[in-house]
Every structure is written in structure tokens, then in C-alpha cells.
Amino acid sequence: MPQYKLVYYDFRGRGELSRLLFALAGQEYEDVRITKEDWPAEKDKYLFSRIPVLELDGKQYGQSMAIANFLARRFGFHGSTDVEVLEVEQVLGIVGDLRESLVRFFTEKDEARKAKILKENNETNMPLFLGFLETVLKNNNTGYYVGDKVGYADVAAFDLLDAAGIEQSLVERFPLVKANAEKVKANEKIAQWLAKRPQTPIFYQLNEHKSDVHLSQSPARFQRRKDAIYSSNMPTYKLRYFNARGFGEVSRLLFALAGQEYEDVRFTQETWPAEKPNTPLGQMPVLDVDGQSFGQSSAISRFLARRFNFYGQGDIQALQVDQVLGIIQDIINGMIKAYYEKDEERKAQFMKENKEEKLPLYFGMLEKLLERNGSTGFFVGNSITLADVSVFDIYDKVKSMVDLDKFPLVKKSVDKVASNPKIKTWIEKRPQTEN
């Protein structure tokens, strides 16, 4: 009987998804809540001095999505096949994109810019991402995002809609999304938790709190489509992305590491508009597996890592991989914020914050995790995983801003990946692009 303890602030925020998963599973756990006033005295007790933290049999793990992913896997809510898991993580990517759009609004202090972001969210971002969710529900045609009962994807979407305060008139435009949220809310175990949980504010109302802060078918046809993937002994893969490294390179590195043949289809900015209607969500990268298309870069790379056995052994090691991926996502979010900022003065300020504060903080976390894993030189276990490949890739993108000599274990890890014969061969032959 494993012992679970979830430590987070005394509000919903980024800890509530895990609490909902505990509720759905009927799993007892210790729900430790820390107030804003008590946090400064408590923070040094926890991994990375951040929460949420999951304590499992006394050992700590951080990063909110890593924790939720682990719980969903352990409790059987993360899909029953690797294709279903990919479908779940496709939804998680959409929910993550929606969340980041909302965070931009609630963390902006300049009132004029805040109003501009609100207008952009209401008119563009939220309709776009809610439309993606509507499309996924229409494709599955069961009322749920994956399969035919409440699972991880449904709970994650419900949690965000429950917390975000999105205008009801906007949600009404997406009837399948609204109906799915009602199904989750009506689930007996979820309903019991909602009725008894402490009445606290939500994260988005508390700007000062920053936690570890992207073909309508019948069920029978949907199942046949999955069965076709598993009936083939030699699946075919096609990766569609721009002629750049960007969000597609981790997947290319995994293909290289696995020695797996695939079609590396690249588009330019000029050829992309004609291809856009042929993608599931109007975005790239897209992975085609035996002709079935999936979006969301993180969902794709995780699927490939699982399929090619680079996700660790067992759910604890998968949690450790996800912990690293959560740190990398924090790095990416900071870089994206600077990249898309149009005001040159603010852009310079964000880049300065990244270089002087955020990147040293996050690479320090990575250093700590490598130290925690002993003398293996890997982030998880004693062999290369998606965690190592992803750190190698993100360093390649930010190396001009990071002095890796200050993080000797991370440097050793990056060098170890670079020297892998299959990775080395890919780097030597890949198209030379700017990013």
C-alpha cells in the first residue's frame, strides 16, 4: 500500500488536477496545504523549493504535470494503448496552450497590455484552442476525448475550464466541450470531491502566487482505425514540420536514436498555407502513424519515446522523465514570451531575465536531478531516455545564454548525448537550418 502525500498551496491552481485524479481513483492521500504566509518558512523542505510536490513513500517528486501524468498512469486513466496515450497527450497539449494564454493575461501588470491580451484571448486564442478540443471530441464521437468513459484528458480539460473563468457565452459556442465538462462534473467520485473540497480561490485570481510556472466517426470505426495500427508489423511514420529544428527536432532525434526509418517532410513558410488544412489542428508538427494524424509536439515526442523504449522502466522512472520535461517546458515558456514580444524594450527585459535568472534557475534544477541519480550521467536510470534527449535539444537552442561550465553534470549529460553514435550521425547529416 504505497503512501501518497500531495503538497501544494491552499488553493486549486496547478495542484487541483492531481487532487481530481486522486478523487476519480478513490485513492486516499494526504492533502497538505500551505498558506502564502507559511510558504517562505517551508520552501526549503521541498524539491526545487517549489510546489506542488508529490511524496511517494517518503521520496519527493516535482513539476505539476509530471505528477498528474504519473497518477493518471498509475490509476489507469492515461489510455490503454500507446496510441490512446498519444491521444490523451494531444489533448493535454491543447489544454497547456490554453492555460499559457490565460497565464499571460493574469500575470501581466501593465493595464493597457492586459486589456490587449484579454481581447486577443477572447477573440483568437480561446476560440482557437476550444475549437481544437471540440474537433477532438467530434472525432471520437463518444462524448469523451479518448475512449468511452471519463479519463485523464477529460479531467484535465474540466480542471482548466473550472478554474479559468472563461466567459460562458464563449463556452456555449463549443457544445461538445461544454457537454464533456458536465459529464466530468456529474461523475459520482468527482462530484463528491467538488462538494467536499475546501472552498479556496483559484490560481488565476492570485497573481502573486506562481507555481511551476500548447472526421466525425462512430466508436466502432474509431476502434477499427486503432486496430489497423496494431495489426501491422511494420508501422509507417511521417513527421511533418517546418524546415527548422524548433518543436520537431526532439522527435527527429528519437527517430535517429531508435534507428527507425520515417519520412521527414519539411515545409517552408511559403508552402505551409497549402498544407495547413491537411493537419488535425491547423498546427505543426504532425505525426502520421500508418496514415492516422496527431498533433502537439510534446505528445508526439512522448509517444515515440514510449514506443521506442526511451521513457524509463516503470511508472516511477516515467515520472522522473516527466519531471525533467516539466522543467524544459518552463524554459520554453520563458523563451516564447520573449520571442513573441513586439515591444523591443520589454523583449530585451525578458531576454535579460531569462539569461540572468530563469535559465540559471532551471539548469540548476537539472543539475540537482543528475546529482540525485548518482554517477550514471543520465537523468533517469542508467541509460538514455527522452529526458536526456530533450535537455540536449533545449541546450542547443539556448546555449548562447547559458554557461554550461557552471553546471558540470548537465554538461556531461549533453556531451554524452552528442557522442551517441546514432545521434552524432543524425547531427552530421541533418539539414543545416537557423534553428
> Is 12 in the same domain as 31?
yes
> Is 292 in the same domain as 350?
no
- Report d(CA 106, CA 98) in Å as an integer: 13
Q: What is the mean pLDDT of residues 345-356?
A: 91
Q: Which of 48, 74, 100 delimits the end of a domain?
A: 74
Residue 211: inside a domain, yes or no?
Answer: no
Beta bridge partners of 5: 30, 55
Closest by alpha carbon to 145, among 63, 57, 213, 85?
Answer: 85
pTM of model > 0.85: no
> Is 331 in the same domain as 387?
yes
Beta bridge partners of 59: 56
Residue 223: inside a domain, yes or no?
Answer: no
Residue 226: inside a domain, yes or no?
Answer: no
DSSP code of residue 287: E
Task: Quote the pLDDT of residue 377.
Answer: 92
Q: Residues 184, 152: contact at Cβ < 8 Å?
A: no
Q: What is the mean pLDDT of residues 78-102?
A: 93
What are phi and psi for residue 193, nearest 5 degrees? -65, -45
The owner of cell 511517494 is 56
Domain harbouring 29, CATH code: 3.40.30.10
Query: Could you tell me how far CA 36 lies from the centroid of its own chain?
Result: 26
> Is 129 in the same domain as 100?
yes
CA angle 144, 25, 217 (to 5 degrees): 15
Q: Residues 241, 50: contact at Cβ < 8 Å?
A: no
Residue 165 has pLDDT above 90, yes or no: no
> Is 416 in the same domain as 356?
yes
Q: What is the mean pLDDT of residues 312-316?
A: 92
Look at the chain and report how many structural domains it folds into: 4
Q: Which of 262, 288, 307 delimits the end of a domain?
A: 307
CA angle 208, 209, 214 (to 5 degrees): 110
> Is 164 in the same domain as 66?
no
Range of the domain at 403: 314-429
DSSP, collapsed to helix, strand or coil, labels residue 150 as coil
DSSP code of residue 313: S
- Report d(CA 110, CA 248) in Å as an integer: 34
Q: What percent of the chain has pLDDT over 90?
A: 73
> Is 303 in the same domain as 318?
no
> Is 318 in the same domain as 282?
no
What amino acid occupies position 420? N
Neighbours of 186 (CB within 10 A): 10
Q: What is the mean pLDDT of residues 50-74?
A: 94
Domain harbouring 177, CATH code: 1.20.1050.10
Query: Could you tell me how far CA 85 lies from the centroid of its own chain?
Result: 13
> Is 174 in the same domain as 261?
no
Q: Whole-number mean pLDDT of the chain?
A: 89
Residue 212: inside a domain, yes or no?
Answer: no
Residue 155: inside a domain, yes or no?
Answer: yes
> Is 86 in the same domain as 195?
yes
Q: Which of 54, 74, 94 delimits the end of a domain?
A: 74
